[in-house]
Amino acid sequence: MLKTPGQGEVVGTVIKIAGATKFMVNCSDGKERLCIIPGRLRRRFWLKENDVVLVRPWVVQTDERGDIVWRYSMLDISKLKERHFL
């Protein structure tokens, strides 16, 4: 089952690794955010540049920061393109 962006979530592409759990993500709403992987998800997936992820922007600093809540596989990326999320 494909995890689609919910309310307040955006799809983005990792453009730069900025530390162990920090990543610069170019989001679909046109903003670049410094995103982190929350502690409960750190060992669930590993990210590299050009990975497509689901970002939940923070309540404070909405345009600058966010949490990475999902990493899409190659099959999921093609489905996202079909449904016009990318």
Q: What CATH code is carried by the domain that includes residue 20?
A: 2.40.50.140
Q: Is the pLDDT of residue 9 over 90?
A: yes
Report CA dihedral (52, 64, 19, 53) to the nearest 10 degrees: -10
Band of the pLDDT at 46, cuts 50, 70, 90? confident
Band of the pLDDT at 14, cuts 50, 70, 90? very high
pTM assigned to the model: 0.88
Q: Is the pLDDT of residue 10 over 90?
A: yes
The whole-chain average pLDDT of the chain stands at 91
Give me the pLDDT at residue 42, please: 78
Residue 4 lies in a domain: no
Provide the number of structural domains found in the chain.
Answer: 1
Residue 3 lies in a domain: no
Residue 2 lies in a domain: no
Q: Is the pLDDT of residue 41 over 90?
A: no
Q: Is residue 56 a contact partner of residue 66, using CB atoms and an 8 Å limit?
A: yes
Q: Which domain holds residue 78?
A: 10-82
User: What element of type H or E holds 71?
Assistant: strand 65-71
DSSP string across 2-29: -----TT-EEEEEEEE-SSSEEEEEETT
Report which of residues 14 and 20 the model is more confident about: 14
| Residue 67, number of CB atoms within 10 A of its CB | 16
Residue 58 lies in a domain: yes
Distance CA 20, CA 24 (A): 12
